Chains A and B, each alone.
Chain A
């Protein structure tokens, strides 16, 4: 419960709203049921406000502000659907979709792209413009890093670092358009500090980090999300009590997740819970 918080009054899209002090504009929008797109934001990670798709217009601010990280202030006047906001959001999607494979992003991402009329093809011929196209890094049996699908949202870095795992096996390297997620000196994953908790996979919004099972099944054309059943259970390895969601296709476990709002895991697991399911199938 915590300390009682005083309420802050602000205006969003012409409506006066009251939200607890310390809320972000995004929190306020969600309370008001104003749909707001996000890519780099997640409920179980610290906001980094790098994707800029959640920007809104705040009166008195020269530029748009990221709603995911900006705390509300008394008297703030926010517009979430102005022409400037729509242009910037559409452009963020167009810039990403022109340089990254967005095909495996969440359905909601595609819904937003349709909503804003995103046309990445106007950036130029895909063969001639800069993209992050590259072969996937398949370096072990557990998971694959398919960086042509990486939008550089930093979520995996945060999950590997201060927000969950504290392993710091990956970080952003390089600069500008060449910036990329990398291990130290770009060594292969098994040679890196990675402990294979798979928490990076759990937070990846675009399918750049995937279970090896999913990667292989997609390559074989057998991956069929619609036919998968999700069974919630508790991990049997130790006494912590992590909730597991077993994604099962054709009677086989194909991947394991944990709910981001679960009080024990906050969506994060260890190598055993994430990848140690083989005994259940034998």
Chain B
């Protein structure tokens, strides 16, 4: 045995069974063959470390908390130092560390969209009704708030949209998940990424195939991996997670690596406040994600794919896992993909409540069984990604774009949108519009067009500001409604499309409180690794609380500027770099009062 000291806690039989079901078959990391021969050891323990997060999920799901005895059992089985496992377990919002009094916890989204449709009142009502309630950052249901995640002991978790006390009570006792995806543009002929959402049965591979599924895969096999990447490069597709990095360049870099194994990672940790587009795809068309990842694996020469879905999306995770299982059963995943003799498989991993795990290197650490703390870059994932190996990591929306590019060619794709922003883009439209939801538009559409397509403003509303790109994006004023939504035009204006958020605020919305909630979000979601972000996000929120109480903007101006500078310039990752952006833009628009 390695020289680790474990605790003395005793797991319950329930906990042992739950953990063993997840780690079954791995066997001990170290085996004493005889008195003198021991095989395995730390190298083998390190290989199994990635089972830590699934094992913690198993404990939480079965017992409702991470008990010291349960945690100790996990540590013994996986040979993980207990202090490190505790550090990992305490990193995530969805893991509880005290014995629960009841069998369910209701996580109520009180983030920027839901708080304007009664989330705070719902929290009070649920508490009065005797529920165990925790407030949550954005749950990605902004088009149908207030949103709730019901975390249940011994049963699957459930999302509840447009939640009420009665609805939540019913959900807690039910076996079925909540409302299916509703797409305002459903059936419209112009849809490419969303064409099948709301049209196909998301649980049926046959239905997926009947609606054009796996045609792209056939095309990819025909033209070969090199040509797939060439088409991708010709298409001009860029990443839809926020950074807009050219996807063809990324895939080429991974394909050109000598190192093996290589990985394809689908970043489905969609957690940017105001964002729900990837959930729309995952719930409505999960096979598209599986097919696109298989093509990615084929193109870059990877044998293993990983989908990391945020823990607050239980329906999406279940749908993706079901789709992967069905594809495997049909010979479209596994040791011989579609008769090619090539191996590619997909594993779905659940996050556990941490926005930062959407940062690609934090995501790798999370899968590997470490705290979701971002790594310093360089080196980049194309050379040092998951397990330190070459990795192509793409957001859900980006991957699904690959299908039509491979099927119809890069040139056809590049003809859409504008020259420098080819293709279509998903927008998460919410706030004071008539028909909030996920919309697909060609790049180049104006902000006003996007709002109009969502039915325009609700009666009596006037645009006070629009949050563009999410909490990590910026507020823009009503004078910007003619802004073309392209990468180049937003960049020129000092803005970002981010994750495609278009959240509309009107004259009655409390913007100072919204900005403070954004600051609170970053404070809560900072991983705590680097000083600028760990303390800077706290100080930024404190300033906004003081302003909300009537503090003088004039006195705080220099401090806010300096906090923005140090977070933007000296933080390790994008969370810190962008944590002051929305605040800064709100100041510039005069939304916080005082001088601009």
A residues with a Cβ closer than 8 A to B are: 49-53, 55, 63-64, 66, 69-70, 84, 87-88, 91-92, 94-96, 98-99, 122-124, 128-130, 151-152, 161, 166-179, 182-187, 192-193
Contacts and interface: CB of A to CB of B under 8 A. Distances in A.
A98 B535 contact: yes
Nearest to A65: B376
Q: By CB atoms of chain B within 10 A, which of A63, A99, A129, A185 has the most? A: A185
Contact of B530 (A50, A70, A128, A177): A50
B56 interface: no
B532 A88 contact: yes
A66 to B, nearest CB: 7
Interface string B531-542: 110111111001
A225 to B, nearest CB: 27
B7 interface: yes
B559 A130 contact: no
A95 B539 contact: yes
The DSSP consensus for interface residues of chain B is helix
Given A50-B529, A124-B546, A175 B565 contact: no
Interface in B372-388: 376
B90 interface: yes
26 contacts: A50-B529, A50-B530, A52-B572, A53-B531, A55-B570, A63-B570, A63-B577, A66-B376, A84-B565, A91-B566, A92-B566, A95-B532, A129-B539, A171-B84, A173-B83, A174-B528, A175-B354, A176-B525, A176-B538, A177-B534, A182-B83, A184-B81, A184-B82, A185-B9, A193-B5, A193-B83
B535 A84 contact: no
B562 interface: yes
A225 B568 CA distance: 40
Contact of B81 (A171, A175, A187): A171
Interface in B56-83: 68, 71-72, 75, 81-83
B86 A177 contact: no
B332 to A, nearest CB: 39
Given A87-B566, A91-B562, A161-B81, 15 more contacts: A50-B530, A51-B530, A52-B532, A53-B531, A128-B542, A152-B531, A168-B4, A171-B81, A172-B528, A173-B91, A174-B91, A175-B90, A175-B354, A176-B524, A177-B535
Given A92-B566, A174-B90, A174-B528, A187 B571 contact: no
A129 B90 contact: no
A65 B532 CA distance: 13
B528 A96 contact: no
Contacts of A94: 562
A57 to B, nearest CB: 9
Interface of B: 3-5, 7, 9, 68, 71-72, 75, 81-87, 90-92, 354, 371, 376, 523-532, 534-539, 542-543, 546, 559, 562-563, 565-566, 568-572, 577
A53 B577 CA distance: 16
B87 A172 contact: yes
Contacts of B91: 173-175
A167 to B, nearest CB: 8
A88 B565 contact: yes
Contacts of B90: 173-175, 182
B526 A176 contact: yes
A193 B354 CA distance: 28
Contact of B83 (A66, A124, A128, A170): A170
Given A87-B562, A129-B539, A52 B530 contact: yes
Contact of A171 (B9, B87, B568): B87
B84 A166 contact: no
Top 6 A-B pairs, shortest CB-CB distance: A179-B528, A168-B81, A184-B82, A91-B566, A171-B87, A95-B535
A65 to B, nearest CB: 9
A83 B323 CA distance: 53
A188 to B, nearest CB: 12
Given A176-B537, A177-B528, A88 B83 contact: no
Contacts of A186: 86
